[in-house]
Amino acid sequence: MHNSWLIWGIFFCTVLTLFIYRSYSVLDPDFGWHVRMGEEIIAKGIPATDPFSYSMPSYPFVDYEWLTNALFYFGLQNIGYLGLSIIFSTLAVIALVIQRFAWPKQFALFSQLVGAAVLTDFVGIRPQVITWLFFSFLLTVLLKDGIWGRLRYIMPLLFLFWANMHGGFIVGLICLFIWALYQAKIEYLSKLDAIIIVICFLITLLNPYSYHLWTEIWLILTDSSLHQAIAEWRPSVFYQNFPGWLLMLVSTIGVIYYRKKLGGLYFIIFFFLLLSALSSIRNFSLFILIAIPLTTQVIQLFYKEIKNPATTFYW
């Protein structure tokens, strides 16, 4: 037991060190813009028009990361670039830790190692890392038995912060609705749970831009020219990362083969995130957060099947 804790402690400390090095040494192209916008917000308030546009200064503007941008500027002024690197790397590691301790522990090292290798490509001082943390927590609440009942009351608060920090809350809401529909059709969705889910949706409108936040994110998601111009928005066929494709292959084959053992909810959410990852490199990191625990589970099921052939799970 003590050796296990030691191994995992060394592992996560190593991952944290690598993440900090990556975040500190590789500057995110949007970092300067985020800091400058944060400075503008703290000095003048949340903008309704683009403060940096010379030709169209009155054009309506939605900063869907306004709170994160303000924290970027505040953090850079008070703890410096290294401090921000440590904080955002720690958030990324916590997202991994949640998946490690919420699911089966046997064979977890393989999926965690491969998953960490993939996330190293994406980690940095960037708002997306905040979505990793929120999304990792949300997946655990939705998919781990017994967690929703204990933590459902804080879900609206989660989405309130999420909607004001990064547009990735949309993916979280979709997964939440998938869970609700599945519960209503296959199992049981109480009135209280339904009310909480509706509140989670409505509370995302509590932002400086109200429903315009949703329309702005929709425009970004449907802008084909944007997806071609920015590398991270391009389809994942252009993504060259062997650990990422390995984890995708193993988890996909495993989820299909053991779908009856894993359950329909896992199957639906997994393939929703898989399609999202294939459509855009940017979404690959979110897919990894569900691929890690599911890969661990399918490897464990495969191991049990080999040890006891009588338990083979036929289609």
**Distance between CA 125 and CA 212 in Å, rounded?**
26
pLDDT recorded at residue 2: 55
pLDDT recorded at residue 315: 39
How is residue 284 written in tokens?
């690959």
Domain ranges of the chain: 1-91, 92-311
pLDDT digits (tens, 9 = 90+) for 217-276: 988 888 877 777 788 888 888 888 888 999 999 999 999 999 888 888 999 999 999 999
Least confident residue range of 115-129, 181-195, 266-280, 298-312: 298-312
pLDDT recorded at residue 86: 97
**Distance between CA 204 and CA 196 in Å, rounded?**
13
Q: What b/e readout covers 28-46, taking b as 16+ CB neighbours within 10 angstroms?
A: bebbeebbebbbbbeeeeb
Average pLDDT, the chain: 90
Q: Which of 151-165, 177-191, 205-219, 293-307 has the highest mean pLDDT?
A: 151-165
Residue with tokens 């289609």: 315
pLDDT recorded at residue 85: 97
pTM as predicted: 0.92
* The one-letter amino acid at 271: F
pLDDT recorded at residue 309: 64
- pLDDT of residue 314 exceeding 50, the answer is no
pLDDT recorded at residue 98: 93
What is the mean pLDDT of the segment spanning 39-68?
Answer: 87
Cα-Cα end-to-end distance for the chain: 37
pLDDT recorded at residue 61: 87
Instruction: Please return the burial class of 87, using the count of CB atoms within 10 Å of its CB with bins 0-12, 13-18 and 19+.
Output: middle
Give percent of the chain above pLDDT 70.
Answer: 96
pLDDT digits (tens, 9 = 90+) for 136-170: 999 999 998 889 999 999 999 999 999 999 999 99
pLDDT digits (tens, 9 = 90+) for 275-292: 999 999 999 999 999 999
CA-based torsion, 217, 184, 313, 262: positive or negative: positive
DSSP classification of residue 60: B
